Structure 1
Amino acid sequence: METAELKKTIEALLFVSGKGISKKKIAEITEMPQEKISETVNALKQEWNSNHGVFIEEIGGGYQISTRPEYSPAILKLYPWKGVMRLSSSAAEVLSIVLYKQPVTTSEINEIRGVDSTGVIATLLKNNLIKYSGRKDAPGNPRLIRINEPFYHIFGIRDVSDIPSWRELGGGGEEENERGESSRGEEISEEPGTDDLSEGEEDGEDSEI
């Protein structure tokens, strides 16, 4: 495939993918080597980053089209933000364990925390921040838990070097980080023991994890 055609194809894939698409997937679709995909995306980024209100962002080992922060006021007039997600210290703690220990089992998380984490894990699963990914080769074959793709979008993580610190995940303690603010300014909170998500209402009620 010629470079010009590959550029157009990648642009189309990024446009329809919404939450982003991995370099590997683009390579599979276009039948081009991943090195060529990286090279072409970098060329696209240079073109887009200087002349457009959107840009190509690297997230979780893939790419997505994102809007520039300076245009947020206009975007919010079109799509008003109706609430925020907030994350409690217990949920942040479980996320941290999964992030740094993955793949990890529920029992391993419980052992590290010293308390039962079943409810918190169920809540994070329902919010697509973590996912089940295979089973451990151990007695009982317990299910393994990994970080899910939406987590990388929420925290703006491109690769391992961008992994947030404990404080950025809301683990600095109630006084130090009461609101649990993420690196993107979205607030995430969870009530311990809650295993379902309530949607924020139109009156601006916060959604809780």
Structure 2
Amino acid sequence: MGFVDRISPQLASVACQAALLCPSFEIAGQTLRHHGVELGVSAITLNGTDRSDGRVVLVCIDGGRLRERKAKRGRRVAGLKRQGYHTDWREPTQIVIQFFNADGSKCDDFLPIYDATMGDIDQVFTLIEKYLRQLDVTKAENVVFCADGARRYWTRTDPLAKKLWIAVHFEVIDYTHAKQNLAPIIEKLPKSMASRQIEKIRFVR
């Protein structure tokens, strides 16, 4: 019959359509119940492979850049067909969540989660918490948080790990930002020593 994890293709199709067409997973669940399909939010958002059981969960956080178009105030200048606008730079926070096997290889049965928000740092971690709860992260082998050196990240990762009852977690500065901060230090070392340290950085990568 083509069942996968006790789910028929038709049920999976209906649930996916509801999740895509409805404004939230909660409303998707309500819509399905009206049609006699009893599925909770966790069942709609996850499939059998989207679990962290025995896996390494990598959570990457980084800032991006985008221009937000805002119309200028006041009347439109005579002779112009369109209202002018400003395009100030803004910084969204981007999130990537991936699964890895114990040997460090990527899990082929789990597609990375990509998301971003224009909210403040508290909203960022609220979003991360939501995803990790859905992934049942308490069953993970460990969780690795990776970001740049900004304190706003690292003052929140440990409290989040405790809140989610994560047994083991690591905090890692990403390679690019670590290299940027190590380079000025290496430049102050004697040339013979500096060359050896540069080779070590290349090897670690």
TM-score, normalised to structure 1, is 0.29
TM-score, normalised to structure 2, is 0.29
The structure with the largest strand share of the pair is 2
Question: Larger C-alpha radius of gyration, 1 or 2?
Answer: 2
**Greater RCO, 1 or 2 (C-alpha within 8 Å, sep 6+):** 1
